[in-house]
Structure 1
Amino acid sequence: WEDAFLGDGVTEILRHNISFFLENRAFFQEHGIPCKRGILFHGPPGNGKTLAGKILACQSGINFIWATSKHIFWLEHNCRSDAFAAVYELARRISPCIVFLEDIDLLVGEERTDSKARLGAFLNELDGFENNKHVITIATTNFPEVLDKAISERPGRFDVKVRFDNPDHATRLGILKMYGKSLEFEQDADLEEIADAANGLSCAAVREVVTRAFIKASERVFRDKTGGKIAILREDLLGSVSFLSNGKVKMGFEADKTVASVPPSKIGGQAQ
């Protein structure tokens, strides 16, 4: 968690609503608190929603089901139409369990023409209070505004909403230092200045600043055939920041909403 750069309070929120909740599920059940939880991860792309899921999968110590839109579509078209029911049947069998639904808007967003029936099936599974004991649902989205209010606002479904925002200055600086710790920088490369210049970039884009700058520095050494050290210049870093800030797509993580209107029959892939 310490190296994830998830922002102030995010780690504590996750620990409180997942680890603490599951470790004390008998206590909550004794006091009539339903032993299920719904958590919505939202915010700009590239800021750790998927990374947080991977950390939870590795460190939560309980069973974990990871489902993307590709997996759900594959189930619907190759196994059974009620794909969400299949997912939650498995989750109940192996509970305690976390069900992680990545990019839920691609499945039940308002822009999908085929989402109404799927939304109803999803809500039926979420509302299974008794059957869903010890099941935590985490859903992610870059576009919470396209979710039906029955998901985003109705109490008892996703009561915990965690925003993964673009990093502040201190976080940007931490990312630059972490991913640049094994690299060499010229004296004019001030990471404080670069962190300032990178304001508005996602965590993933800030990491890419270091990668692009190192590639630029490497190309210079190889081109000049000096055989010297690869040292990153201030202009390498600022050039990378400028490229990522001014491009139409910041680091390639700006999801294309048109994906939400692609018919399920056109989406391939096989369940992992």
Structure 2
Amino acid sequence: MLMWGPPGSGKTSAIWQMSEILIKERQGAVIFIQDPQVAIWCLTALRRVENNRPIVTVAEDLDALVQMHGEHHFLALYDGEFQLDNVVHLATTNYPDRLDRRFVDRPSRFDTIMRIGMPTLDARLAYFSVKEPTLDKDTLNRWSIRTEGYSVAHLREVCIAIQCFNQDEDEVFERLDKMKRLIQLNSDGDERESAGFLNHKG
């Protein structure tokens, strides 16, 4: 599975939740990949002593890892050239357009490609309800509406700044909105191109 989406959309959080379930409920193992060749050696050695244990490999920011280590060993890891039973490969990227089509257009490497967007209104409501259970209904609804397009990290900052440091609500949202606008601009002051497969230049 390849999960892609903007920074802060919750890809890493999803991986940690899946990892916790795999380890606690299935007695599985999770291997975080940096160097694909080392990962291949480790997986081979692990399979010799753990024939049937469920394994998940995780490659976060796959585009950066491929740029660092090259494509060959990653392609071997994800394709039939190197194959082990009962292993699921997870990878994330903020910039799928930077991955060669040999990664994204070949089901034998990633048979599931999932876009992870920013938290929806229902997700933001649920987040604030859990993190700040003392909020009244009006405040909960107001925060959830004002945080349209916010990442999970931004939602956390809202809670910390207002509830923990008692900062003014309007000032907090103004600061975070300004931060989001600046991040969306490039060095020329133009809006950044959105990351996505439609922008693929390969």
TM over 0.5: yes
Cross-structure match for 1:66: 31
Residue 85 of structure 1, CA deviation: 2.2
- Check the 8 A contact 1:98/1:138 in 2, yes or no: yes
Q: Does 1:86 align with 2:86?
A: no
- Residues 13-32 of structure 1: CA distance to partner in whole angstroms, max 9, x if unpaired? xxxxxxxxxxxxxxxxxxxx
Paired residue secondary structure (1:155) = coil
Residue 200 of structure 1, CA deviation: 0.9
Structure exhibiting the larger radius of gyration computed from Cα positions: 1
Paired residue secondary structure (1:190) = helix
Residue among 88, 113, 125 paired with 1:173: 125
Give percent identity, aligned residues only.
27
- CA distance in 2 between partners of 1:85 and 1:130 (Å): 8
- Check the 8 A contact 1:88/1:125 in 2, yes or no: no
Cross-structure match for 1:210: 159
Cross-structure match for 2:171: 239
Residue 68 of structure 1, CA deviation: 4.7
Equivalent residues in 2 for 1:129-168, closer than 5 Å: 131-168=83-120
Residue 216 of structure 1, CA deviation: 3.2
Paired residue secondary structure (1:192) = helix
Residue among 55, 67, 89 paired with 2:17: 55
Aligned length: 176
CA distance 1:196–1:178, change in 2 (3 Å):
same
- Residues 130-188 of structure 1: CA distance to partner in whole angstroms, max 9, x if unpaired? 8321111001111111111111111211011122111121211221221111x566x9x
**What's the C-alpha RMSD, in Å, of the aligned pairs?**
2.6
- CA distance in 2 between partners of 1:132 and 1:194 (Å): 47
Structure 1: state its 5+ residue gaps: 1-38, 77-81, 220-235, 251-272
Comparing 147-156 with 236-245, greater Cα deviation is found at 236-245
Q: Does 1:200 align with 2:146?
A: no
Structure 2: state its 5+ residue gaps: 185-202
Q: Does 1:46 align with 2:11?
A: no
Residue among 32, 45, 60 paired with 1:102: 60
